[in-house]
């Protein structure tokens, strides 16, 4: 296989590292990043680092995009020449988190060029990307999914959830649950701290109970330690919640809980926490209560 990964940011870089493991089996991996310096070190792992995204995609059977949002994906594909560079029959795996409607529009437009599209956003953060344990939510055709299995395998567990756009719809559901749960954990720990209980011990006490969760384990620990180095940025969480609200509006679905959390994350971003981990909602709520 010849695989290209476009976008080696917080998530894309460890994913590229995992894909470079395929080089030992004779496969080739090409990478590109807007700031080349962030991709150069992958050359030592066997990757070919390119100056342009179109150059990286030119001979690839599979092209992976891992970008900030739908506008960035569209610009890369159709303004920066990636789609034109891809050969007919090749597969675009968009692992960015974008709106379902954008994914379907990209799939339709690429289809007219003979390129197969799958939306395959991920969950698991930088830790999951590094460990190859990402949850990969895939929308597209079953035949393409089977073809792409060897590409997904080093990255995590892939599940075909439906047709075009269904992967992005699933990611929005994931981000609604994650964002809302972070808010619940943050508020609960602050309540206990305000009342005189030790937040670290509170987290320990409810571990294994019905309130336990991955968010309590990972992000709860970050809250206890007041450590907000980004695994997933606050600004990205806000973007995903806004995409969820936009999609819900299109579907005429009321989502009052997500609406409230969108306001809280937006407040955190306005307070200067944009580049903090999304668990920094805890910090935003602490500041709101004059506890930080």
Per-domain residue ranges for the chain?
Answer: 2-162, 169-288
Pairing of strands 28-32, 2-6: parallel
The answer to whether 224 and 248 are in contact (CB under 8 A) is no
User: With a threshold of 0.85, does the pTM exceed it?
Assistant: yes
**Is residue 44 very low, low, confident or very high in pLDDT (cuts 50, 70, 90)?**
very high
How high is the pLDDT of residue 60?
Answer: 97
Mean pLDDT for 10-15 is 96
CA-nearest of 283, 276, 270, 75 to 185 is 283
Question: For residue range 119-160, what is the model confidence (pLDDT) as tens digits?
Answer: 999 999 899 999 999 999 999 999 999 999 999 999 999 999
Q: Which CATH number fits domain 169-288: 1.10.3720.10, 1.10.1040.10, 1.20.810.10, 3.40.50.2300?
A: 1.10.1040.10
- Counting every residue, how long is the chain? 292
Mean pLDDT for 41-54 is 97
The answer to whether 91 and 144 are in contact (CB under 8 A) is yes
Please report, for residues 14, 119, 136, 142, 168, the alpha-carbon distance to residue 139 in angstroms, rounded to integers and kept in the order given: 23, 5, 10, 9, 7
Catalytic sites, residue numbers: 171
How high is the pLDDT of residue 193?
Answer: 98
How high is the pLDDT of residue 231?
Answer: 86
Question: For residue range 159-217, what is the model confidence (pLDDT) as tens digits?
Answer: 999 999 999 999 999 999 999 999 999 999 999 999 999 999 999 999 999 999 999 99
Please report, for residues 79, 125, 159, 202, 266, the alpha-carbon distance to residue 135 in angstroms, rounded to integers and kept in the order given: 30, 10, 8, 29, 26
Residue range 2-162 in CATH 3.90.1530.10? no
């Amino acid at each position: 296989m010849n695989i290209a990964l476009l976008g080696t940011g917080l998530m894309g870089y460890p994913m590229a590292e995992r894909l470079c493991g395929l080089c030992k089996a004779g496969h080739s991996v090409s990478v590109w990043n807007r700031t080349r310096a962030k991709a150069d070190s992958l050359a030592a792992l066997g990757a070919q680092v390119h100056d342009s995204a179109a150059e990286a995609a030119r001979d690839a059977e599979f092209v992976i995009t891992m970008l900030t949002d739908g506008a960035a994906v569209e610009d890369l594909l159709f303004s920066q020449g990636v789609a034109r560079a891809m050969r007919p029959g090749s597969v675009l795996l968009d692992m960015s988190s974008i709106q379902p409607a954008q994914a379907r529009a990209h799939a339709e437009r690429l289809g007219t060029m003979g390129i197969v599209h799958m939306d395959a956003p991920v969950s698991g953060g930088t830790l999951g990307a590094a460990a190859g344990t990402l949850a990969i939510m895939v929308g597209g055709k079953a035949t393409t999914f089977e073809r792409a299995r060897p590409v997904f395998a080093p990255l995590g567990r892939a599940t075909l959830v439906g047709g075009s756009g269904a992967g992005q719809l699933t990611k929005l559901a994931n981000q609604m649950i994650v964002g809302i749960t972070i808010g619940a954990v943050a508020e609960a720990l602050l309540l206990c701290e305000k009342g005189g209980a030790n937040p670290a011990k509170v987290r320990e006490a409810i571990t294994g109970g019905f309130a336990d969760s991955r968010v309590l384990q990972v992000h709860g620990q970050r809250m206890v330690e007041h450590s907000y180095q980004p695994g997933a940025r606050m600004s990205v969480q806000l973007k995903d919640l806004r995409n969820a609200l936009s999609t819900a509006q299109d579907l005429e679905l009321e989502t009052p809980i997500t609406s409230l959390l969108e306001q809280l994350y937006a407040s955190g971003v306005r307070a200067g926490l944009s580049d903090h981990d999304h668990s920094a909602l805890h910090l935003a709520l602490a500041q709101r209560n004059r506890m930080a």
